[in-house]
Amino acid sequence: MDDTDLTDDGYAALGKGRVLVLACGALAHEITAILRLNSWDHIDLHCLPAILHNHPERITPAVEKAVLKHRQTYNTVFVAYADCGTGGHLQAACDRLGVEMIAGPHCYSFFEGNAAFAARDEIDAFYLTDFLTRQFDAFVTKPLGLDRHPELRDMYFGHYKTLVYQAQTDDPALTEKARACAETLGLAFERRFTGYGDLASALGRAAE
């Protein structure tokens, strides 16, 4: 998802008590669902491009720029990113700016629950979420050149054994697409229904 504001009424109704969730575009569907489920009408969602994950060094500057742009308009800004490959730089920036972010190394961890994910200690699993399953070609196949050079598959994925599909929703079509992705990569397939995991509780704290 591009740099897009997902609000019902733009910024016209902003005022005291409003919260901005500044999020990775890969989480847009999930965050929108959680906001609607809880009727959190005082929260607005602003998403940065999900493709930033292909260049983690760009995440922190983009988040910092967005926080500085919007913070004067909101009582609270919550950053819906985990570390996401920034090597601690995003947390340091959030600390400096005085805003909170999601705990954990990445979305695979907080979707499953950070404690449960850490306990698994899986080093040979490749993970997909609902978003990455839908966008597999855009975020995996094409950036890695597998559409042009399929022989590179084993170079990239030879050390993995299993593709773990962390399902946020119970969608049979997405499950079958994730299974097909596993076959494409030559990996065993496992589906885990995680729901929204720690993302839901993190947003709950921001909503308060």
Give the model confidence (pLDDT) of 123-153 as tens digits: 999 999 999 999 999 999 999 999 999 999 9
The C-alpha atoms of residue 104 and residue 170 are separated, in whole angstroms, by: 24
Q: pLDDT tens-digit profile of 88-121?
A: 999 999 999 999 999 999 999 999 999 999 999 8
Query: Which pair of tokens denotes residue 35?
Result: 């906001």
| Ranges for all domains in the chain classified under CATH 3.40.50 | 4-101
For the domain made up of 4-101, the CATH class stated in words is alpha beta
> What's the confidence (pLDDT) of residue 14?
47
Lateral strand order in the sheet of 19-24: 4-6, 43-48, 19-24, 76-80, 100-101
Kindly report the pTM of this predicted structure: 0.87
Would you list the DSSP string of 56-88? GGGHHHHHHHHHHHHGGG-SEEEEE---TTSTT
The C-alpha atoms of residue 17 and residue 138 are separated, in whole angstroms, by: 38
